[in-house]
């Protein structure tokens, strides 16, 4: 896999300033691969029925995720922090 330090550093820096950071770009640009490669982040695929089921109980969901997480939808990827 090709490393993307420029974008990784920008995302990590932005994440320190805000609880939510939007990552957008053309289809197949590499957003998902980049999101999955971020350090200390949990990648969550909301296309999976199992995750949709977990999200039905937000309190339990936020308790179960790590401090930093990736919450992913078909169109966008953005990180969330538990407890924010
Ligand atoms: N950093 C990378 N190094 C190598 N291949 C990559 C990289 N990022 C993306 N790709 C290739 O491009 C494809 C599309 O990337 P993906 O992250 O799914 O795009 P997006 O989520 O923006 O639609 C991947 O399946 C992979 O083959
Ligand atoms: Mg994607």
The two tokens of residue 54 are 């977990």
**44: containing domain:** 28-84
Residue whose CA lies nearest to ligand 1 atom number 23: 28
Q: How many domains are there within the chain?
A: 1
Among 10, 71, 8, residue whose Cα is nearest residue 84: 71
Q: Residue 11: inside a domain, yes or no?
A: no
Q: Residue 70: inside a domain, yes or no?
A: yes
Distance from the Cα of residue 59 to its chain's centroid: 18
What is the pLDDT confidence band of residue 50, given thresholds at 50, 70 and 90? confident
The pLDDT value recorded for residue 77 is 47
The pLDDT value recorded for residue 69 is 63
Q: Residue 12: inside a domain, yes or no?
A: no
Among 27, 26, 31, residue whose Cα is nearest residue 7: 31
* Single pTM value for the model: 0.80
Give 3-45 pLDDT, tens digit per residue. Answer: 999 999 998 888 888 878 888 889 899 988 988 888 878 888 7
- Which residue of 7, 28, 77 sits with most ligand 1 atoms within 8 Å of its CB, as the best mutation to test the pocket? 28
Among 63, 15, 65, residue whose Cα is nearest residue 38: 15
Q: Residue 50: inside a domain, yes or no?
A: yes
């Amino acid at each position: 896999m090709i490393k993307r330090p420029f974008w990784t550093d920008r995302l990590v820096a932005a994440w320190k300033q805000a609880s939510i950071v939007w990552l957008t770009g053309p289809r197949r640009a590499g957003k998902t691969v980049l999101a999955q490669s971020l350090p200390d982040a949990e990648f969550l695929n909301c296309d999976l029925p199992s995750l949709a089921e977990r999200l039905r109980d937000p309190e339990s969901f936020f308790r179960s995720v790590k401090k930093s997480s990736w919450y992913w939808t078909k169109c966008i990827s953005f990180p969330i922090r538990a407890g924010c």
